Amino acid sequence: MDSFETAVPERDSRTPGPGHGKHLEMTERDHQPEVPPAASGIAVRPVPGPGTSAPDAAPGRRATAFSLAALGIAVLPSGLLALGSSTVPGYAIGWAAGWIVVAAVLWLLDARTPRRWAGWALLAAVPQAVVAVMFAEPIGLVSLFAVVASPVLAMLAYRQFARPARDLAELDVEIPVPFDAVDSGRLLIGRDRIVLAHRGSGGYLRHALPLAELALAQPGELSADGGWWPLPGGTGIRLRRGPVLRLVAGVQQWLVPVADPPLVAAIVQRRATAAWPLRTGPQDLAAWQRLRDWAVARTTTVRQGRSAQGYRGLRLLLGIVLMVFGSMLLTTAIGRELGDPVPWIATVVTLGLAVFLVVGWLRVRRRLDFAELHRLPPGSPAWGDLSPDHAPLPHWQPWR
């Protein structure tokens, strides 16, 4: 069940949340969906923090990352395809080479998102491996090496790009920041927004903040274990004693456990100065409710008579597989000059279904990105105490 599915009680934005004005610590059991956490009412003063231990720059970051990715996406698949080309029909070589070109182009267009590079490497490696195994045995078996090596090289490139350093603030790429907590999750810091992606009791959940509205990126710490920071939708993040980053944008607020809050705060603040506005969203509660209902319908399914989280990414995967298979049928029909209408009909049906799945996923994903920015309805009260000199939770201490 995705967090979009939680009902939203209507409340006057002027009405304080439950427990307002009390020294109340929110717990997972106490949290109600869409009800802001109570203001702690605790004034705090900054305390000395350890500062970031990250270097100013990671030498050769961009060159090394792009070299590894190019090796995995273009060079290795192309080389292995050429290795067995003497026994492979020309139409099959053209089909595999075409997918290597497509994967390389998509990689260059998607250069701002290194976490997806392994997928483009796999897209380049699989067709040449299929061709080599079908037509170039036993040399073709060597091409199976690329199915593993190409994604591995792309993942190494991703890690190279994501090495912690202060120069990340100036790079126009998405930066992953893993949680330093029991819960699995991470921040994805893009050019115009921050995505909080974590796996909670309801499955894999995503929330987003627009960087153009960033008001506060405050490093600090919790001095006690057992903390809990609620998120809209009835979910939340478990916090423990240690470093925590506080982010405020609009009326939304997050407390995120990360290993190096000063570094992440500096990156976020720098990117916020150049971010484009993203919040042209629903203007009234009815429009927001329609958006939420649409998001619920797209992110949930029914399993064994119960509502469960749906994984729409599987549709994209199936669409790409069908597109590769359909293009192979088309190339084979053209190369062998087949006159039988059955292969042509199968090709049209396969490619049509592939296009339907891929285009449909792209349209839904784009609107889900929009819905993630609007987890709270218009006119919602502030999500907790947003003042930088007040603690959002008991035991919170900001760093200088």
pLDDT in tens, 371-390: 999 888 888 888 988 999 99
Q: What are the tens digits of pLDDT across the range 134-164? A: 887 677 678 888 899 999 999 999 999 989 9
- Domain map of the chain by residue range? 3-56+166-295+373-398, 59-163
| Helical H segments across 260-312, by residue range | 261-272, 285-299
Nearest to 61 by CA among 208, 176, 195, 159: 159
pLDDT of amino acid 193: 92
Nearest to 369 by CA among 206, 199, 200, 188: 206
pTM of this prediction? Answer: 0.82
Q: What are the tens digits of pLDDT across the range 228-254? A: 898 887 788 888 899 999 999 989 999
| 17 has a pLDDT exceeding 60 | no
Cα 382 to Cα 216: distance, rounded to the nearest angstrom: 14
| 31 has a pLDDT exceeding 70 | no
Q: How many residues does the chain have?
A: 400
Q: What are the tens digits of pLDDT across the range 170-225? A: 888 999 999 987 667 899 999 999 999 987 655 678 899 999 999 999 999 998 88
